[in-house]
Structure 1
Amino acid sequence: MEAQAVLGSFVAGQEDYEVLEEIGQGTFSEVHRGRHRSTHQEVALKEMFLTEQKALPLHVERELQLLRAVSHPNILPLQGVYSKGFGITLVFPLCRTDLYRAMDAGPLPAPIAKAALKQLFEAVGALHDAGFAHRDLAPSNALLTDDGRVLLCDFGQARRLGDGQPQADGVAPDREGALTPVVGTRWYRAPELLFAARSYNHAVDCWSLGMIAAHALRGAPLCPGASDIDQICRVQAALGSIEEASGAPVADWADWGKLVFPPSPGQPWEALLPGTDPAARELCAGLLCYDPAQRWSVARALSSDYFDGAAAPADVAAHLAHLPL
């Protein structure tokens, strides 16, 4: 799709911003710290290259379409887009850290973990209500603002999941193609994706949220696999063997049965999440269910007793202020 067709009201002028320094680089983009010339507000400038046909790459198109369709206080807002040479630049608020780095600096106090997780879950709930699955939920994609808000970002793998019909503001099905299991960050990837399922739904995000919650609650990743096979081994060592008896629709998983894994009874949640309250363990158990049909939805998770009395963003900000980030 040509760039101008989806930019809409996001269009801004390149002359409005000055580039200060590079703060990140990826395969398809560079991120710079920038500043608005009139307001002097610092921003993040994400430079993306267009295809030879001057069309948006699919991951950019997905991100723009989602940001046009979904608005929520915990979703990183797009402040503008402008053309630059053979690419476009997306303008976002500047966030100086993320949930992964905050957790890496030391275990989060239980009230801070709860407050941050609630905001993240609410953002994902807004995506699901609009029909989107993020498909790459990870702590590094949960940015943290100076005032303690969580802002979900990086929607390049996000996709509407449903009946496959064209959406008024979505990417056309022929542009999207078939669902791929090659999405997500390994430590937080659902088992149906690890076993190459070609049909899945929003429950893949719910598994990721369960792994993120476990990471936040225990102060370390629950299953930090070094490869996809190692990830499957670690998941089963923690949660027990994936078997047909578990209710998981393994017959629909393309790679099921190609390898034989040693049986594992798993570990009790008291051992996996020591020192946590029962509601926290119930939350993770509900989200980390092998059967996607039985896995807790975001709405079910947010109704959990675990989130009762969650702290305000200001408390998260106070904690962040003392971290060496």
Structure 2
Amino acid sequence: MSDQHKPEFTPEGTPPSGGKQLPPPGTPLDWVRAGVFPEDWTLIPVAGKSTYIKEWGDHKRRRIDSEGLYFEDSRYNGFGVVTGELSGGLIALDIDGPDADRRYRAEAGEGYEAYGEEQTMSWTSGKPGRRQLLYRVPEHMVPLMADINTVILREDGEWALGQGDTNRTKKEQAGEEYEELVLRFNRCQSVLPQSIHPDTGKRYRFLNYNGGQPAEAPEWVLEVIRPHLKAKAWLSEEEMGQLEAEAGKTLLPSRQIRGWFFSEEVQSKLLPRLDELVFKHPTFDQYGWDIRPGKSPQMMSGCPWHGGKSGTSFQYSELSGCWDCKACGVGGDVLDF
């Protein structure tokens, strides 16, 4: 099927901000071919919000392959970007209405970006209060986020990993509309501008093009993520077999050592004593530890590599056992430290 048979849509309103001018009106495929979206993004064709590609969130795809898939089903009328590791660490903040926006404002504090004043790549379906803000998480965090698909801010004020909000069912049963606030990472996708919304029939449009690049994830987003980071700990049956085969040798591969180190038994004994056994450094003696209490407690101190004026650059999550310094662009688990 040739692209001339796909529906064409005329842009509406003023051009998006952020510098780089968007191409003239055309199909979603025109925008993909014109390089509107970064080349390192993994794109998939969508019909509304759906795609018919199996395991679409598990494999990185070349842009030319994504374009080819677009023609394989006449129902496709747009493209989505696969967030997470497959697109260089993209994380999408999905705000599903005015009530969700109020919760976003309360959660983000000074990091809140008002509608129409976004500082990163962002777009809307045109429905009231609906928009998505796209960020890029620090590279060193991406491997530790392998198990993070969605993190949802429930109406009880708690961020839940990969779980729905129990209040959704209650509201829907009462005939009330539920507005979700969610961060999307691995095995998720966001429908891109110029695609067609399945309910309104109108195209998604940019609120801020931002020169074609998402901004770095703000600190409040990283604070939400940190308690859910997870060290790569577990070995497959094949790797366990290799470990047993290597048992009589003096040296073991580092991956096998990590598999033992991050076993549940070892971690249960180690985590309560990390500051005593692992985090030994003169910098920590100098700055001391600042404890941020709450449901997601954080230990903070000066950074062993660059110090820092605030004394909170080094962030360690007591729940996940992972740490990072955004200024230095480093992080990981306790063995990485």
TM-score with structure 1 length normalisation?
0.30
Specify the structure having the higher radius of gyration (Cα). Answer: 2
- TM-score, normalization: structure 2? 0.30
